[in-house]
């Protein structure tokens, strides 16, 4: 593994290696000294062209716990706002000697381009509506932690699939790991190519819920919507929101996930989000360990 750009690039063994490594690293977060010397002297650049709180902080915490030096670069107030191209930014980073570049970009495919311009490893922290592989890895990690396995799990991913890089990465990774994924959304919020994805599709949340072991609710990304995808927020919430009544249809061991940030009252009710069967808070903690594992496996060894 040189880069982590798409969850679809990971073989089953590679994905399991990341999850197993994360499981060992999770213990570091429980110690009084939450730091390992492994990446001492290595430089990790966080290159964020889009707003992000949890992913950037999570990557920063992960790199720092491995003793790497972290340089944060956000597009606002940088030379990018003066018109610098991605390539020129990449060459600047290259000159600084970045061993890994964590990139979030509004354009799908930006990390892929970047990987051709820099010598270090590129980690995709979300590119447009394309992919967000570390989110999928931390979701898989959280599922395995709660339910003990991924193979054979029935996972429903509900909501704005069209604009969701989380959904795509999760479908690719979970199918590699043997889970059965069903996407649930109004037809307007499904991408056109969805029939080629390794998953099933349903428009009826109430029919899917009783059969699901995991329900992953996605945020409705109003900022990416430049057209009317559904009549009103209230109607969306009534048909595709996870409220108390729908929650009651799940079997007793099923868990509820959400990649955050949540719109409470829209896709998920506050009561469900705060229930003990929701993994929303532990997903954040697991994000740090999974990203530590990814950074260690990508740049912990020899320079290629």
Partner 1 sequence: MTHARNQVARAVLEGPDIHRALTRIAHEILERTRGASDVVLLGIPTRGATLAHRLAERVAQFEGVKVPVGSIDITMYRDDLRLGPARPLGKTDVPAGGIDGKTVVLVDDVLFSGRTVRAALDALGDIGRPKAVQLATLVDRGHRELPIRADYVGKNLPTAKSEKVKVLLSEIDGRDAVELLKGAEK
Catalytic residue among 38, 54, 113, 239: 54
Which H or E run includes 295? Answer: helix 280-299
Question: Mind giving me the DSSP string for 87-101?
Answer: HHHHHHHHHHT-SEE
Write out the binding residues for partner 1, residues 14-33 only, by CB under 8 A.
Answer: 17, 20-21, 24-25, 27, 31-33
| Pairing mode of beta strands 255-257, 180-184 | unpaired
Write out the binding residues for partner 1, residues 70-129 only, by CB under 8 A.
Answer: none
Residues 105/49, Cβ–Cβ less than 8 Å: yes
Q: Which residues on adjacent β-strands are paired with residue 217? A: 158
Catalytic residue among 27, 31, 82, 196: 82
- What number of chain residues touch partner 1 (CB under 8 A)? 21
User: Across the chain, which distance is largest between two alpha carbons, in Å?
Assistant: 56
Dist CA 21 CA 26 (whole Å): 9
Question: Between helices 12-25 and 133-147, what is the axis angle to 10°?
Answer: 70
The verdict on 286 binding partner 1 (CB under 8 A) reads: no
Dihedral sign for Cα 182, 187, 191, 193, please. positive
The verdict on 301 binding partner 1 (CB under 8 A) reads: yes
The verdict on 2 binding partner 1 (CB under 8 A) reads: no
Is 54 noted as a catalytic residue in this protein? Answer: yes
Q: Write down the least CB distance from residue 37 to partner 1, Å.
A: 6
Structure token pair of residue 49 = 């062209």
The verdict on 296 binding partner 1 (CB under 8 A) reads: yes
Residues 173/136, Cβ–Cβ less than 8 Å: yes
Catalytic residue among 3, 56, 65, 104: 104
The verdict on 260 binding partner 1 (CB under 8 A) reads: no
Dist CA 169 CA 285 (whole Å): 19
The verdict on 64 binding partner 1 (CB under 8 A) reads: no
Q: Write down the least CB distance from residue 66 to partner 1, Å.
A: 8
- Of residues 31 and 196, the one with the C-beta less far from partner 1: 31
Q: Write down the least CB distance from residue 116 to partner 1, Å.
A: 22
Is 277 noted as a catalytic residue in this protein? Answer: no
Q: Write down the least CB distance from residue 22 to partner 1, Å.
A: 10
Q: Write down the least CB distance from residue 61 to partner 1, Å.
A: 16
Return phi, psi of residue 271, to 5°. Answer: -60, -40
The verdict on 303 binding partner 1 (CB under 8 A) reads: yes
Catalytic residue among 43, 55, 134, 176: 55
Write down the H helix ranges in 49-177: 54-65, 86-96, 110-117, 133-147, 165-176
Active site residues: 54-55, 82, 104, 132
Q: Which residues bind partner 1 (CB under 8 A)?
A: 17, 20-21, 24-25, 27, 31-33, 35-38, 66, 296-298, 300-303
């Amino acid at each position: 593994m040189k880069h982590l750009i798409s969850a679809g690039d990971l073989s089953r063994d590679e994905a399991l290696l990341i999850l197993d490594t994360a499981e060992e690293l999770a213990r570091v977060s429980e110690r009084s000294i939450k730091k390992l010397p492994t990446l001492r002297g290595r430089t990790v650049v966080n290159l964020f062209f889009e707003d992000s709180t949890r992913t950037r902080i999570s990557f920063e915490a992960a790199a720092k716990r491995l003793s790497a030096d972290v340089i944060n670069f956000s597009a606002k107030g940088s030379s990018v706002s003066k018109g610098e191209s991605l390539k020129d930014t990449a060459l600047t980073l290259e000159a600084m000697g970045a061993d890994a570049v964590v990139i979030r970009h509004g354009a799908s495919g930006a990390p892929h381009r970047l990987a051709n311009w820099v010598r270090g490893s590129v980690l995709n922290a979300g590119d447009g509506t394309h992919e967000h592989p570390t989110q999928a890895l931390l979701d898989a990690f959280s599922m395995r932690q709660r339910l003990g396995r991924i193979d054979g799990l029935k996972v429903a991913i509900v909501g704005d699939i069209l604009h969701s890089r989380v959904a795509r990465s999760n479908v690719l990774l979970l199918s590699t790991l043997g889970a059965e994924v069903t996407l649930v959304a109004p037809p307007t919020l499904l991408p056109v190519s969805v029939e080629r994805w390794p998953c099933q599709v349903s428009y009826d949340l109430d029919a899917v819920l009783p059969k699901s072991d995991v329900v992953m609710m996605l945020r409705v990304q109003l900022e990416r919507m430049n057209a009317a995808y559904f009549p009103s927020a209230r109607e969306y919430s009534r048909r595709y929101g996870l409220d108390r009544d729908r929650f009651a249809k799940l079997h007793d061991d099923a868990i509820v996930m959400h990649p955050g940030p949540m719109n409470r009252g829209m896709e998920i009710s506050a009561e469900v989000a705060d229930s003990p069967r929701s993994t929303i808070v532990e997903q954040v903690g697991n994000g740090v360990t999974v990203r530590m594992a990814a950074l260690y496996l990508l740049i912990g060894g020899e320079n290629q």
